[in-house]
A and B are shown apart, each in its own frame.
Chain A
Amino acid sequence: MNNIKYILGSFGDPDEMMHGIQKLQDNNIKIHDVYTPMPIHGIEAKLGVKRSRLDIAAFFFGITGTMTMLSFVYFAAAYDWPINIGGKPHFALPDFIPITFELTILFCAFGLVGSYYASTHLFPGRAPRVMDLRATDDRFIIAIDAKENAEHSKIDNLLKEAGALEVKYNERKYVSYE
């Protein structure tokens, strides 16, 4: 019984890799993921990657910042310690718009950095999850789940026909776990 978990097609050229994706899709072979050292136009549409929900998260982080600042300013300037400044109302909204804006941005930025780290499993002390180290350098990797797709020799042929320089059979998902 083989213990192969993932089949990796390693390409040296993005066009050949796109060609490989097309071939696999034509043969109804499900692609687990694709790793490239640089962004490639149109690859999300081809793989059917869902649109990021980061903007929705950003909105909620931002609105949290807005509410936090407005309520704190109301508490401080109008409730806890009201001071007459230039005869204006205690809660003079125009005065507090810049700081509210700043806190919206701050919450949004920190929230998004946190979300990014959480979703990519990148934080201090954690070894990065990489399926093939050369995907961070000069290779374009197509990863196929070997358990779901049984016809390994067919996948091997398809990848090589498309121009894969190398086909790897990994017995563990990530190579850089140590």
Chain B
Amino acid sequence: MGTHNYNLTEQFEFTGKAKNLSIIAIVIGLLAIGYGFSAEALHERTFANLLLMAYYFACVCMSGAFFLAVQFVAQAGWSAAILRVPQAMAKALPIAVVILIAVMAAGLYTHNLYHHWNAPGLTDPKSENFDKLIQGKSAFLNVPFFMARQVIFLGVYSFFALLLAKLSNNEDLEGGLNSYRKSFKYSCVFLVIYGFTTPIFAFDTVMSLEAHWFSTMFGWYNFAAMWVSSLATIAIILILLRKSGYMAWVNNSHLHNLGQFIFGFSIFWTYVWFAQFLLIYYANMPEETVYFYKRFDNYEFWFYLNLVLNFLAPLLLLMDRDNKRQENILLTVSIIVLCGHWVDYYQMIMPGTVEEHHGFGIIEVGTAIGFVGLFTFTVLNGLSKKPLIAKNHPFLQESLNHHL
């Protein structure tokens, strides 16, 4: 372990293939969405896909902010040299939030989303659509309160995401420990808020699609999904940057740590998924089993594929120490996990919206590609604005010398 001669002012240049490909992907996405809105019969399916990808996009970005906050609160040293990547993800959060809120507002307005609790007459005892359960829940599940919650939660997450990025920028300019101490303080506040509100955010955005059913595990189940997909995204961005000659200071030990995180939280995801399943299976109460009944009935393939991609693949491929340290294996597993959580969200959202009329075609693939392009474009654009390393981070030397 000697001294290092890394270029600490290295900046990412967002040009060439990465830029062109992400713009092409955005165009493909727009075309697919345009195709989805061309026929009346496809509207609901397009809305469901837009919700899926907007939710996925927002979750990955806000978990990027969560990653930053966790590193500050834990006073972690190993991650100091890679913090610019989750920061770029956090900086993309406001865009994701605007898209997600627009999709939800449009879906509520056109009754293509959340029609289980937002159709006309559901709370009117005289109407033939009257639904006693929905009436009982209407104090919580009504459009103004629903949208207010979304705006407040996502607004608060965006505020902290931008604040943490800004403090890191100040640290670059001024040095000293001032920014680090502030980051620590705001991260503590953010983690408390985030921990209590993400389950409610998941209840609102996804669980309320099937408003009769409820599960208290659902919030943590979604939290595990968004956290592990965000970790996989960080790993992919780091590996691809390293392959194209940036961030030479990222060594196998950093990848090892990320690999451990992805492995551990994939198991955690399975744990929460199974905890939710087991209780419903064991109790066997009709109002609860309806959720899995729908998924066994029309989504059997997706149901099992979900477990294979999100549990078996990371379990078998990342269990070995050496596999976590090899960038190609980690890259493959991260991509599998990201696809797996698309499948996970797919079988959370589709049965509550399009029910048995689901499909897998131009709309699904196109929307996903479009959002991946948008994510790549915004994140890489954010990344190119700042040097790739926070050169005044107090734990930088520890991170550069990180060794497991």
Q: Which residues on A are within 8 Å of B, measured CB to CB? A: 41-42, 55, 86-88, 94-95, 97-98
Contacts and interface: CB of A to CB of B under 8 A. Distances in A.
B321 A94 contact: no
Contacts of A97: 274, 278
B1 interface: yes
A42 B284 CA distance: 55
Interface residues of B, number: 9
Contacts of A42: 1, 403
Contacts of B321: 55
- Give chain B's interface secondary structure class: helix
B282 interface: yes
Contacts of A95: 278, 281-282
Contacts of A94: 274, 277-278, 281-282
A98 B1 contact: no
Contacts of B278: 94-95, 97-98
Contact of B1 (A41, A87, A88): A41
Interface of B: 1, 274, 277-278, 281-282, 284, 321, 403
20 contacts: A41-B1, A41-B403, A42-B1, A42-B403, A55-B321, A86-B282, A86-B284, A87-B284, A88-B284, A94-B274, A94-B277, A94-B278, A94-B281, A94-B282, A95-B278, A95-B281, A95-B282, A97-B274, A97-B278, A98-B278
Nearest to B281: A94
Contacts of A55: 321
Nearest 10 A/B pairs, CB to CB: A41-B403, A94-B281, A94-B278, A86-B284, A95-B282, A42-B403, A42-B1, A97-B274, A41-B1, A94-B277
Contacts of B281: 94-95
A45 to B, nearest CB: 9
A47 to B, nearest CB: 15
Contacts of A88: 284
A97 B274 CA distance: 9
A33 B281 CA distance: 56
